[in-house]
Amino acid sequence: MTNQKLFPRTNTTSKTSSCWRHFSWGIISFLILLSNCSKKEPEPDISDKVTGDYLLNEFQSGTVTYGLPYKKDTTEFNASISVSKISVDKIKLVIKTNSRIGSRLSRDSTDWSLTLKAFSNNDIEAATFLGDSRAIFSGNKIKCYFGVNDAGDLGYLIGIKKQ
């Protein structure tokens, strides 16, 4: 018997390249699968986006705007807003006001339990069930509607979230 019959010739080059081709496709498939399984940060709850303390810099009543803190002669006014989470879509909004007219000092605190609603422009509205009290959150800004004065003008506070 000759060596050719005992050890038949095989085309080792094509088998080797075929193995490398399968191995390469396996690696590429694994990398594609791995990249599709990358972890994404979960979207925070709507209430988490607005919680925090807000530095108020304006008070508006009708067409009149006052810078905050307001101080003129013997009259002073300042306010702050704090927002805390109740649930995924509910917040507690607390408005604290300090005012002084002459020697009379007044401190007030108002608590609202508000339901949140997101809009397509990324603004978030917080409103009571009847909608009589509400706030609009736009990025790090807040515009808080809090009532109507004697002349029927809507009053609101405008501020920026503290960092």
> Domains of the chain: which residue ranges?
3-36, 46-161
Enter the CATH code of domain 46-161. Answer: 2.40.128
Q: Could you give phi then psi for residue 148, rounded to 5 degrees? A: -120, 135
Stated as kind and residue range, the H or E segment containing 36 is helix 12-36
- Which pLDDT tens digit goes with each residue over 61-111? 878 899 999 999 999 999 999 999 999 999 999 999 999 999 999 999 889
Question: What is the rounded distance in angstroms from the CA atom of residue 49 to the CA atom of residue 5?
Answer: 78
Quick one: pLDDT at residue 62? 79
Beta strand 52-61 pairing with 64-67: antiparallel
- Which pLDDT tens digit goes with each residue over 106-155? 999 889 899 999 999 999 999 876 666 789 999 999 999 876 666 666 78
Q: How would you label 10-32 residue by residue, b for 16+ Cβ within 10 Å and e otherwise?
A: eeeeeeeeeeeeeeeeeeeeeee
Question: What is the rounded distance in angstroms from the CA atom of residue 159 to the CA atom of residue 163?
Answer: 12
Among 161, 157, 162, which residue's Cα sits nearest to residue 59?
A: 157
As a whole number, mean pLDDT of residues 30-34 equals 65
